[in-house]
Amino acid sequence: MPHPHMFDDDDPYLDRVRQLCLAFPEAEEKVSHGRPTFRAAKVFTVYGGGTKGSAAERIRYDHSILVLPDDAERLALEQDPRSYTPAY
């Protein structure tokens, strides 16, 4: 059974993320686990995410982007209140 879509194609934030991500050479968009992902051989961005926990504890961030930061940048991102650690 496929995952339900957890995004709106008319979302202006998603439109901007698409413009930026698809400008990279060989980049393409694919929906995975209900969310738009952007890849060029490997996934480099996921649009939308949420925190881990029980249903009552989870927080969805539908207008966020998930990226894998360099180790040198990770600590700064962990200290930034605008950032969160995604469930996966």
Give residue-wise pLDDT tens across range 11-63: 999 999 999 999 999 999 999 999 999 999 999 999 999 998 888 889 999 99
Categorize the per-residue pLDDT at 2 as very low, low, confident or very high, splitting at 50, 70 and 90. Answer: confident
pLDDT at position 53 is 84
Residue 72 lies in a domain: yes
- Residue 84: name the closest of 62, 61, 63, 54 by CA: 61
Residue 88 pLDDT > 90, yes or no? no
Residue at 1 is within a domain: no
pLDDT on residue 54? 86
Q: Write down the pLDDT at residue 5.
A: 93
In a domain, 7, yes or no: no
Q: What is residue 55's predicted lDDT score, i.e. its pLDDT?
A: 83
In angstroms, rounded to a whole number, what is the distance separating the alpha carbons of residues 2 and 5?
9
Residue 45 lies in a domain: yes
The per-residue pLDDT for 52 is 87
Given a contact cutoff of 8 angstroms between Cβ atoms, the answer to whether 26 and 13 are in contact is no
**Sequence-ordered list of residues with C-beta below 8 angstroms from that of 86, at least 6 positions apart, any chain:** 49, 50, 51, 52, 66
The amino acid at 8: D
Residue 85 lies in a domain: no
The reply to whether 3 falls in a domain is no
Q: Quote the domain boundaries for residue 52.
A: 12-79
Count: domains in the chain: 1
In a domain, 49, yes or no: yes
pTM check: above 0.95? no
